[in-house]
Structures are given as structure tokens and as C-alpha cells.
Structure 1
């Protein structure tokens, strides 16, 4: 499969061409048999994500391809944490020494933003988003992505699937979004506020959550 690698700060990005994929490409993965019967979309996304992850791990002196856990989560080397995300023909990954979450999303169209707004944000949050300096569809996309990356970073402390309303937008601009957790997310984190890094990258937004960013 033809790919192109680039780096955005500590984020490793792989843009890939699904039409160039062949089943033999999966042999690069030690766990390729786990994907033998998956659909082409999952195969290409998974392969691109693991390529991005390997690039991220090289910064820590690791070369192994992350395997697949019981819940289909990536298995990272001891002492390291990572996160992978896909959108369209792009995969990104990041690795850190503390839990980390990353997410990439295509910017919502105005119509999609209005359709999803109530599911992603409550009335107070929507007011914050609409009064920001960003167009509402872009602001909502950042909020959606930030919640996704936060849930990944704090997954070990969450109550199962806490839902989008368990983390609420406090403020945002083009580079930073602040979220407040509710007890529904995790009782121990109730009212904690975290800062999440955001990046507008062409037709995509990328957000990254490191628990060390707690405020």
C-alpha cells in the first residue's frame, strides 16, 4: 500500500492510498492473521495506524509493531502509552510515557453540525461554542474530537461508556479547549478541568490529551 509519512509536533501522520493495498501488505504485521477476514477498509486503516505507531515508537527506541489486545486495543511496550486514530485516508499516532489520547476528525458541515449538536454538547456548552471566535461547525468538531481524545487518555478511570455529556466544554479557541469532567465520567475526576491541545489541519481537526495537562 502506498503511504506518505509526515510529522506534526509529536504526532506521526500516515496518508495512505487504499486502492494500492494488496492482501500481502498485511504480512508486515506480526498479527496479520487476526485481520485476514476483516473488510478492506479495516485492513487498510489498521495497517496505516500501525505504521504511524511504529514511527511514534521509534522516538523511544522501540521497533516492535503494537499487537491487538482482547478488546482490540493496541498493546504498547511496558512503560509507554499510545493512541491511534483514523479519518478517511489518514491515520495518526502518538506515544508518551503517561496515558495519552489522540483523535482526528473531518470538520463537520453546517448541516451535520446542527444535526449532531444536541448529542455532543448541552445547552450551556453550545452557547460557549457559538460565542467563540470559530465558526460553529468547526468549534463543534473540535469539541467532539476533544471529548474523544480525553476519553481515550482517561479510559482506565471511566465508568464504562460515559457519553459525551459526561465532559463539558468550558472554553475553546483554535489551539486549546478546556473540558470539565462530571461525576458521570468518573467520581474521582468530578469537576476536574483539563486542557486539550487542538490543531486545525486542512479539512481535519486533531486533538491530543495528556493527563499531565490537568489544570
Structure 2
């Protein structure tokens, strides 16, 4: 599978990016992964996405002088080496990863293609509630972009919290309370583990080639 590696800065953090062409993927490419056998029954797209994400993650770890590839946890989450926290995302033919040398850091990254306007209106009720919709409408951004941001930010937050709360979180588990240029705030609508209802989290965001990327590192 042909790949191109690059890095970009998001909120002063290095994000490791892999652009890949899944049309050239073969099962032999997976042999690079220590856990390749666990993907034996996955679909071709899933295999290519997973491989690109783990290559990005390996670069993120290498930047910390750690030579490893994250495995797969019982809920499908990446298993990072001891003393490291990280996150991986895929969007189309782009995979991104970030890692920090801190145990139990809250870290989550997500990248999403900006939704078409009509699709955004069709799916909004599954992503936001009645309090969020007027806030997104008044944000100054096109509604489709604002909704994509809300979707992506919630995904990033849930990735960050999952290693600690070990609980699936739906889109109604957090609410957008503020959007501004390059920053967005979410508040929990219920308690999860040590995180009480109403706890707020600030995420950074930027546009990346027709996509939005959101990141929390806390």
C-alpha cells in the first residue's frame, strides 16, 4: 500500500499523518503489525484503515523514542505502551495519530469530512440536542461545518475519556456550549466515573483539506 508521511501542528502538538491509497493494499501489508492475526476476518477497508492508523501511531511513538505499535483492546481501542497516552483517527484516505509521554492523559483526536448541507440537516437530531442547535446556528459558521465540528469534538472527547471510564458514550453524553475560531467547549450531560455532570472540556480544531480535525490534550 502506498503511503505518504507528514506532520502538522494542532494546538502546538505534533500530529503524525499518513495519506494512503487503499487500492494498493494487500493482506501481506498487514504482516508488519505484531497483531495482524487479529484482523484476519476484517474487511479490506477496515484492514487498510487500521494499518494506516497504526503506521501513524508508530511515527507518533517514535517521536517519543518508543519503538512499538499499539495493539487492539477488548473494545477495539488502541493499547498504548506503558507511560504513553495517545489517540488515532481515520478519515477517507487520511490517518492521524498523536501521543504524549504521560500516563492517563486525556487525549483524543478525530478528523471528519465536512458534511454536505443537506446531510447535516438530516442527521442533526442524532448529533445535537435542542439547546445545541441554536448555538451552532448563531456560531457564525455554516451550519454543516458547525455540526461536523460538534460531531468530531464529541468523538475526540469520548476517545479521551474511554480509557478511564470504560463506558460507551452516545452523542447525548456531551453538549457543545461554545464555539470560536480554533476552539470549542463541551460539557458532560451526565456523570462518567470521576467526571461529574457539567464538567467542561476545551478542544482545539482546524480545517484540513475539506475536513475538520478536533483535538483534546489534558
TM-score, with length taken from structure 2: 0.91
Pairing partner for 1:105 from 109, 112, 129: 112
TM-score, with length taken from structure 1: 0.93
Pairing partner for 1:135 from 125, 130, 142: 142
Gaps of 5+ in 2: none
Which stretch shows the higher mean deviation, 46-55 or 95-104? 95-104
Regions of 4+ moved over 6 Å? none
Pairing partner for 1:54 from 58, 62, 66: 58
Look up the match of 2:190.
Answer: 183
Q: Distance in 2 between matches of 1:151 and 1:73?
A: 11
Could you say what the CA RMSD is over the residues aligned between the two structures, in angstroms?
A: 1.5
Per-residue Cα deviation, 1:5-54 (whole angstroms, up to 9, x for no partner): 11111111111001111221111111112122321101100100000000
User: In the superposition, relative to structure 1, how do residues 50 and 188 fare at CA in structure 2: closer, same or farther (>3 Å)?
Assistant: closer
1:158-169 aligned at under 5 Å gives the runs 158=165, 160-169=167-176
User: In the superposition, relative to structure 1, how do residues 8 and 22 fare at CA in structure 2: closer, same or farther (>3 Å)?
Assistant: same
Report the secondary structure of 2:87's partner residue. Answer: strand
Is contact 1:166–1:185 with CA below 8 Å preserved after alignment?
no
Q: Please report how far the alpha carbon of residue 187 of structure 1 lies from its aligned counterpart in structure 2 after TM superposition.
A: 6.8
Per-residue Cα deviation, 1:136-169 (whole angstroms, up to 9, x for no partner): 0001100110001001111145472232122111
1:1-215 aligned at under 5 Å gives the runs 1-9=1-9, 10-96=14-100, 97=102, 98-158=105-165, 160-185=167-192, 188-210=195-217, 212=218
Which stretch shows the higher mean deviation, 27-36 or 39-48? 27-36
User: In the superposition, relative to structure 1, how do residues 157 and 62 fare at CA in structure 2: closer, same or farther (>3 Å)?
Assistant: closer
User: In the superposition, relative to structure 1, how do residues 202 and 163 fare at CA in structure 2: closer, same or farther (>3 Å)?
Assistant: same
Is contact 1:149–1:209 with CA below 8 Å preserved after alignment?
yes
Report the secondary structure of 1:70's partner residue. Answer: coil
Report the secondary structure of 1:154's partner residue. Answer: helix
Q: Please report how far the alpha carbon of residue 184 of structure 1 lies from its aligned counterpart in structure 2 after TM superposition.
A: 4.8
User: In the superposition, relative to structure 1, how do residues 126 and 7 fare at CA in structure 2: closer, same or farther (>3 Å)?
Assistant: same
Gaps of 5+ in 1: none
